[in-house]
Structures are given as structure tokens and as C-alpha cells.
A and B are shown apart, each in its own frame.
Chain A
Amino acid sequence: MDISSVQKLCIHLISSAVQRCRLSEGLCRLSVVLKSSPPIIRVSISDTGTGSCLEEFQDLKCNREGIGTEKWDGLLSIKTTSISDNKIYHYHLNLRGSVSARRLTRLPSIPKNDAKFSGTEVCLSISETIDALLKDIKHYFQKMLILKIPSVAAELVIERGDASGLRCENVFLPNESSPLNFSSSNVERLKSGLEEYVLKHRNSLNNKCDSCFCSREKLKISSGVASSMESHRSPGLIVEAVIAISELSESLCFRSSGNKTEVLHFKDFSPSSVSIASLNALTSIDWRSYGLTLVSAVDQVDHALIEWESLPPYLHIDMVIHCYHKQYPGKYKYQPDRHLIKKGVKLALDDLKEKHTGLLLSAHAVKICSYAPDLASSIAGIILSSNDLKFRSKCSTLLELSQSQAIGKQTVEDRIKEKIISVIETNDRKPEKIKEAAPFLFEDDRPQDLDPADLYLEEHAGGDNVFSFPD
């Protein structure tokens, strides 16, 4: 794969290390050490995951247009060992070497003396400002926290080789207080990760913002998983989508980003760019049935940006999509599947609607709900004008109101309105095909045929049938 900048190179190496850690059983440590003696930074990425194979590194291509020779000389120093090996292999790889045979230099192996461990260390020297590099690495780690890969503890150590000799450490661990354990599924972790991400105002804070998210209700989160079958032609793919909706009454902390949603993408447990398939999937979803109108979905390199036509001012939507192979490493090239992505996102949306009444109501349902108060008012009016006590008491029973005489019109009206809205919301969650015709109002009227009432337009025309003038 092509590397176009030192930052990308470092991120790629760190990402490979993460994958190696993920694949090994048991806890792993990942260390990124940056020793800065300006203008050179010595980068060392070491992990205790499974041993690496050389192909990983040899596949890296770095052309002249990408990283200039003044930034990096093309040399990687690799030490690696697997659990079953009895020595640590040491290589120097020159990626700028023209002839493949000359590129690899084997150095003497280091004996392990029967100790059982595995791991890899990759070192390189680059000429870059430490801050630029640091920013990207930190950003990467923060994104990785969303995945909440359980078995990896990562640390970033910076040693500034200037006069102050400062050494600082940042540790990136999945949050200790989360309810996850090793047996949680990937999607549960993703959910938890996104939740924390949103609670920290998209990682702009170090801790959960308690003033904005003072109650559990403020953040509603759901997930959907879609998977495809494995076959010899295509790999088994899994798409996990997690959606978080936050309802903040006032944006106390900062101005909310309005009608936009960043859709974070991960591919095979690593932050990824946005694929065309993903954009297509997002634009082809029928958002109207969730009460949303999509204006545009654009690729913003590390996330997709969705713009909505209008959201209630306090509502914010966050989304993350993770596509990965069922088996890693995949034998096949990764082909993001538009249908699978669409299915995953829809499942997440439906899950959200199912768990939270009144959320993501389709535009149609919202419109009908707006009529509920008037309907409730008419029915309540009839009940309260009646002087038939048996009738009134039957109605009170049906509405689960107390039988006392002092029930006011507002109480009755509110109860009826609640019930009507609840039916509309429940109906809204059902897919179109399952919606049944409403039950008949009078039991003994079994009609021979039932047409929906046309809007009297043809009768008003009058021309068709002379006998149809109303008085």
C-alpha cells in the first residue's frame, strides 16, 4: 500500500500493531515511544501481540512523491518473535531500495532462552516536527477508543531530548468503569465506545460532561448488525452500525454542530476512510420514514458528513459504521457492500425507534399526532356533556381513570390523547407490510366491501349523477 506521509506511515505501523494485539489471546501492551532530538525523531512502536510476518512490511510502498527522502530514509528496523519461535528475529528493511533482494538485511537473532512470549518492535527515524506527529497519533488513539478493543493497553511516551529532558506519558486504556467484560460482543463495545465519545463531547473533554448529560435519558443509543454469508467468492463481512441521539435542552458547553452528523468509519478494527459504497448506502436509506430529511452526504476523508434538512435545535445525531471480515486476516480484498451497510444502519435506526417511543417518528406520524389533541377534545366533549352516568363510568373505566365525579375535561382529554399518540407511534414502528386495517367500529356491520372514502370530489362535481345533490 502507498504511504504518502510520515504521519500516515506511523499510523499504519501502529494500526498493524493493534491488529496483532487483537489477534493474540490475552492482554497485550502497545507502546509508542517518540524520542525527539530535533530535527530527528526516533519512533519506536512495540507490541506484545502475535509475531508479525515480513510481508506486512515488504508490501509497503513508498514512492518519491509521497515521503521525501529528507523526511525518512526508508529504513525500518524490525524485531519480531512468535510464541512458538525460540529466537527473536531482527531485520533491517530498506523500502527505498530498488532491487527487492537488496532490501532485506537479516541481522543476528536474539535467543529467547525458553521464555514464552511474542511481540514485535518496529523502529524508524524521521525528520518531522514532533507536534504534527503527536497530533495525528493522539487522534488515532482517541478514535480507537471507540472500538474499545478489550485486550490492548496502549501507551504513548514522548521523550524530549532538549535541555529540559522531559518525559511524559499518555496512557490510553478502555474506560475502567464501563460495564463491559471480555465476553461482550464487538458491537456492544462499539456502542459503549460511541457513548463515551459523545458523552465527552466528541473527545473534546477528558471526562463525561455531567451538565449536558445529567440524566440517562439525554443520550439514546442503539445498534444494528448485518452480516453476509461466507462463500469461496466473497468473504464473510460484518457491518455494525451504532447510532446515538442526544437531546440536550441547551447546548451549555459549546455551540452544537447544528444539522450535521459525522459518520465515523472503521474498517477491520482500524479507523478508515469513507467508501463510495458507504456514501451510497447512506443516501439511499428512506430517512423520511424516520422523520429525517437528508440534504447531502459527503466524504470528508476521515468521516462522512451528513447534512440534514432540519433537526429540532436540541437534537444531535452521531453515527459510527464498522465493517470487518468475519475472519481476520481476510484472504480476500475488502469489498465494502452497500446493501450490507444500508441494512446495518437501518437495523440500528429501527432498534432506536423500537426502544424509544416517539423517537424518529416519520413525518407522516408526526403530522397525524398533531391532530390527536383535537380528536381527544371532541371525544372528551361527548363524554362530559353526557348525563348518562353509566356511560361516563364505563368511559372512565376504559380510560383507567378513577371513578370519582370530579374528573375534569382536561384529564379525560389528556388520557385519550396519550392513548391515541401511543397507537400512532406504535403503528409507525411497524413496517408497511404488516400494518393491518383498523378494526371495525360496529361488530355487526360486516361489510361486503369496504372502500376508502374518496374526498367527495366526484360528488361535488355533481355531473355524474343527478341524484346526488346534498340538501
Chain B
Amino acid sequence: MDDLSKSDMKFFSDQQHCFADILLPHEVQARIQVVVLNFLKILSSPDPAISDLPLINRKSSNSRVSEGILTDVSWIFLSHSFCSRSLMKANATKAFIRVWKVMEMCFEILIQDKRVTQRELFYKLLCDSPHYFSSQLQVNRTIQDVVALLRCSRYSLGIMASRKGLVAGRILLQEPNQEAVDCSACGSSGYAISGDLNLLESLSTKTDARYIVVVEKHAIFQRLAEDNVFNQIPSILLTAKGYPDIATRFLLHRMSRAFPDLPILALVDWNPARLAILSTYKFGSIGMGLEAYRYACNVKWLGLRGDDLQLIPQQSLAPLKPRDLQIARSLISSTILRDNYRQELAVMMQSGQGAEIEALYFNGYDYLVKYLAKKIVQANYI
């Protein structure tokens, strides 16, 4: 009976699903205008009041898992629990006003049909309202508040994702009315992934690769690109240089839809924090839970894994930091991870040690490529 009710949940999980719409500028303007009108209505009513701003809760308590029934892809999404920002609460007044200020600025940006990066937005806000904004992080969080209030994607607000990711390998990318770019000829720096999601959407792609390899570290990406690994193993290399940004995930997702037969393999350090990065590609995130679920992909964990540890010397193992262990505990308790991942995590936690991919170089500078090739051929990925 238990299983039956669980599967009920799977089918109706959509009703709990709260998501941010991808909207056109005039639609977002309309939503902002609705917010203003409602606020003024309540302010001018016979029993006037200053309304609170209801924001979708971006906490684990409000997160749910959607397990892929017909597909292999599961993802994290947010449900209908709200928190509110109020003017009247002593220490929360500034946070309330920050939401309005960002909304005002996004409104202006959309009217002018522009797009800005988060960094540019931060500087504009800093000049305009220095008392309210002191750091990029604060601006980013306020942007997420606006996303949670208006339930539209960050990109719809006119804010571009950062330009972090890189692509290299056997793929041709062509922007409309531009020359096609052959990513295998880009050298070790690869093709920079734009932060403009519309542009990424409009790219046409062509490939003869058989695999997509997501590399967590920039250094490893460079090494592999320099060694032209994609000519030895027909593949596309992708990196976000650390924690994946929306643009990189967007492109990866596009590629996975365009080339559904290509397995997506992840190459990360043997470390809970890096496994968390892999999980973000795989399942999405809570922080951007209203949008991130869209770009979840079926990423498989190639390495480093537990049984690769025999390939590296003992002295290259380093103790895990307390934060790494904290992340491990949090991951293990999350219901979305499969058992095989959990087992790997358990080994990590038990040994209390981690290892970097670079440790493989102990066996020679070309060992990494051999390692990759062997694992791919053996389909040794989970």
C-alpha cells in the first residue's frame, strides 16, 4: 500500500510544482504592474495597510523530488510554501525595500529592452541605493526574491546569467547569421558559453561525438582540450569552471535533447563538494528551484570513484574539510540520490579523505586520457 501511495504522488506531483515562467518582457512588466496596483489598492483602501510580499520558500522544507517515471531524469522542485517579506518587521525592512528596488530596476531594463548581467545590476544598484546594497551576494539573493515573487525566470527579468562555461570538442555551433564555430579547433580555451539564454536557444548544433564529458575543473578541461582528447574519443567537453551556472546547464540540456543518444559523463574530484556539483547538473538546485528543474540532465558519474583510488598513490589523499563532511551528510540524507551514489558517499565519509583528479598524473601525463578511454569503453559509469 505504501508503494501505491508513493506512486500516486509521482503522478500528481505536478500539482505541488511551483515554477517560474519564461516570459516575454511585456509579460513581466505586466506582472510587476499587477504587484504595484495591488499594493496601491490595499494602501488606499478604507482600511489601509502595507501589504507583505509573498515569496515562494527556497528552503529544503519546501523542496520536493520528482522522480522520472518515463525518463531517467529526476529533479528537485519547489512547492507552494510561502514566506513573506514585511516592511514592519524591525530588521527585515531593508530586505523588503531591496525587493522593490530590484523590481524597479528590472522594470526599467525591460522597458528599454536591454539585458544586464548580475554584476552590472549590482553596480547600478550600488550607485543608486548604496544604503541598501552592499554586496553582489545580496543583489543575487534579492534577484531570487523577485523571481520568487513574480514567478518568472531570472532571464525574463532581463538579467543574464554569467558567462562562465566553456565548450570544446566535436561540435559545431552556429549563431543565426554567423559562421559556424568548430569547437575542436578552439584550442585549450574552448568556446565561451554566452550568458544570454535566448542566444543559446537560437544556436544550431551539429555533432559526430559519441559522448559528452562534463568536467568540473577548468585545469582538467584545459589539459584535455590541449591533448585533443576529443579526437581520440569522439566527445564534447563542457565545463562551468566549478559550480554550474544556468547558462552552462542550459546548453548541456539543449545538447542532451538534441543528441539524446549521447551519454553525459561527469569527471569530478573524489570529494563530497564535487559530488554536489554533479548533483546540481543532474537534479537542479533549491536556491534557483523555480527554474533550475528545467535543465536537469541524466548525468552519469564517471570518476573519480571509490575503485579508482587504487590508481593513485596514498600520499595524494588529503583529509576532508569539515564543510566537505557537512555537505556529505546533507547529500546522504537527501532522498533523491540513488543507492550506488550513497554507497560512494559512505566510503568518502568513512575514510574521511578526498582526492583530486590531478592525482592520476602520478601515472604519467597522458594517463588521464587513457583512464578516460578505458572507463568509457568499459561503460564504467553510474
Tell me whether B44 and A447 are in contact (CB under 8 A). Answer: no
A423 at the interface (CB under 8 A from B): yes
A351 at the interface (CB under 8 A from B): no
A449 CB → nearest B CB, Å: 6
Tell me whether A378 and B286 are in contact (CB under 8 A). Answer: no
A387 CB → nearest B CB, Å: 7
CB-CB contacts of B360-377 with A at 8 A, as 1s and 0s? 000000000000000000
A254 at the interface (CB under 8 A from B): no
Residues of B within 8 A of A371 (CB): 87, 93-94, 97
B351 CB → nearest A CB, Å: 20
Residues of A within 8 A of B144 (CB): 470
Residues of A within 8 A of B48 (CB): 419, 422-423, 426
Residues of A within 8 A of B198 (CB): none
A452 CA / B88 CA spacing, docked (Å): 11
Partner of A466, one of B40, B132, B330: B330
Of residues 420 to 440 in A, which have CB atoms within 8 Å of B's CB atoms? 420, 422-424, 426-427, 437-440
CB-CB contacts of B82-96 with A at 8 A, as 1s and 0s? 111111111111111
A379 at the interface (CB under 8 A from B): yes
Question: Of A101-109, A297-305, A336-344, A393-401, which binds chain B?
Answer: A393-401
Residues of B within 8 A of A355 (CB): none
Residues of B within 8 A of A454 (CB): 83
Of residues 165 to 208 in B, which have CB atoms within 8 Å of A's CB atoms? none
Partner of A388, one of B33, B57, B89, B95: B33
Residues of A within 8 A of B53 (CB): 441
Which single residue of chain B is at the shortest CB-CB distance from A395?
B40
Tell me whether A447 and B82 are in contact (CB under 8 A). Answer: yes
A185 at the interface (CB under 8 A from B): no
Partner of B82, one of A378, A388, A445: A445
Tell me whether B35 and A441 are in contact (CB under 8 A). Answer: yes
A348 at the interface (CB under 8 A from B): no
A386 at the interface (CB under 8 A from B): yes
A420 CA / B50 CA spacing, docked (Å): 7
Tell me whether B51 and A441 are in contact (CB under 8 A). Answer: yes
B57 CB → nearest A CB, Å: 7
A397 CB → nearest B CB, Å: 9
Residues of A within 8 A of B104 (CB): 378-379, 381-382, 385
Residues of B within 8 A of A388 (CB): 29, 33
A471 at the interface (CB under 8 A from B): yes
B271 at the interface (CB under 8 A from A): no
Which single residue of chain A is at the shortest CB-CB distance from B61?
A451
Tell me whether A467 and B334 are in contact (CB under 8 A). Answer: yes
A384 CB → nearest B CB, Å: 10
Tell me whether B60 and A374 are in contact (CB under 8 A). Answer: no
A378 CA / B99 CA spacing, docked (Å): 10
Of residues 457 to 471 in A, which have CB atoms within 8 Å of B's CB atoms? 458-460, 462-471
Partner of A400, one of B44, B85, B287: B44
Residues of A within 8 A of B97 (CB): 371, 374-375, 378
CB-CB contacts of B30-54 with A at 8 A, as 1s and 0s? 0011111111111110001111111
Residues of A within 8 A of B94 (CB): 371
Residues of B within 8 A of A466 (CB): 276, 279, 327, 330-331, 334
Tell me whether B85 and A467 are in contact (CB under 8 A). Answer: no
Tell me whether B284 and A463 are in contact (CB under 8 A). Answer: no
A277 CA / B75 CA spacing, docked (Å): 68
A402 at the interface (CB under 8 A from B): no
Known: A371-B97, A453-B85. A468 touches B55 (CB 8 A): no
B245 at the interface (CB under 8 A from A): yes
Tell me whether A459 and B59 are in contact (CB under 8 A). Answer: yes
B218 at the interface (CB under 8 A from A): no
A391 at the interface (CB under 8 A from B): yes
A469 CA / B36 CA spacing, docked (Å): 30
A368 CA / B104 CA spacing, docked (Å): 20
Tell me whether B50 and A424 are in contact (CB under 8 A). Answer: yes
Residues of A within 8 A of B259 (CB): none
A66 CA / B58 CA spacing, docked (Å): 79
Q: Count A interface residues, CB 8 Å.
A: 60
Known: A371-B93, A381-B108, A450-B82. A459 touches B54 (CB 8 A): no
B100 at the interface (CB under 8 A from A): yes
Residues of B within 8 A of A445 (CB): 54, 82
Known: A385-B108, A467-B284. A450 touches B87 (CB 8 A): no
A182 at the interface (CB under 8 A from B): no
Residues of A within 8 A of B38 (CB): 441-443
A426 CA / B41 CA spacing, docked (Å): 17
A374 CA / B97 CA spacing, docked (Å): 8
Of residues 351 to 385 in A, which have CB atoms within 8 Å of B's CB atoms? 364, 367-368, 371, 374-375, 378-379, 381-383, 385
Tell me whether A463 and B29 are in contact (CB under 8 A). Answer: no
Tell me whether A449 and B81 are in contact (CB under 8 A). Answer: yes
A328 at the interface (CB under 8 A from B): no
Known: A381-B108, A382-B36. A419 touches B81 (CB 8 A): no
Partner of A420, one of B43, B131, B327: B43
B24 at the interface (CB under 8 A from A): no
Known: A378-B100, A451-B57. A459 touches B287 (CB 8 A): yes
Known: A451-B57, A453-B55. A467 touches B84 (CB 8 A): no
B7 at the interface (CB under 8 A from A): no
Partner of B29, one of A386, A399, A422: A386
Residues of B within 8 A of A381 (CB): 104, 107-108
B256 at the interface (CB under 8 A from A): no
Tell me whether B54 and A447 are in contact (CB under 8 A). Answer: yes
B92, B286, B331: most-surrounded residue (chain A CB, <10 A): B286
A454 CA / B140 CA spacing, docked (Å): 16
Tell me whether A395 and B36 are in contact (CB under 8 A). Answer: yes
Tell me whether B60 and A464 are in contact (CB under 8 A). Answer: yes
Sample of 13 more A-B contacts, CB < 8 Å, known A385-B111, A387-B111, A442-B54 = A382-B32, A388-B33, A394-B37, A398-B41, A400-B44, A423-B43, A423-B50, A438-B86, A441-B38, A449-B81, A452-B89, A456-B141, A459-B58
The 9 A-B residue pairs with the shortest CB-CB distance, nearest first, are A470-B287, A463-B326, A466-B276, A453-B83, A378-B100, A447-B82, A468-B286, A398-B40, A467-B286
Residues of A within 8 A of B (CB): 364, 367-368, 371, 374-375, 378-379, 381-383, 385-388, 391, 394-395, 398-400, 416, 419-420, 422-424, 426-427, 437-443, 445, 447-456, 458-460, 462-471
Residues of B within 8 A of A (CB): 29, 32-44, 48-55, 57-60, 63, 76, 80-97, 100-101, 103-104, 107-108, 111, 129, 131-132, 137, 140-141, 144, 161-162, 243, 245-246, 276, 279-280, 283-289, 323, 326-327, 330-331, 334
Q: List 9 A–B pairs whose Cβ atoms lie within 8 Å, in order of A's numbering.
A: A382-B103, A382-B104, A424-B50, A438-B49, A441-B53, A452-B83, A453-B92, A459-B58, A469-B280
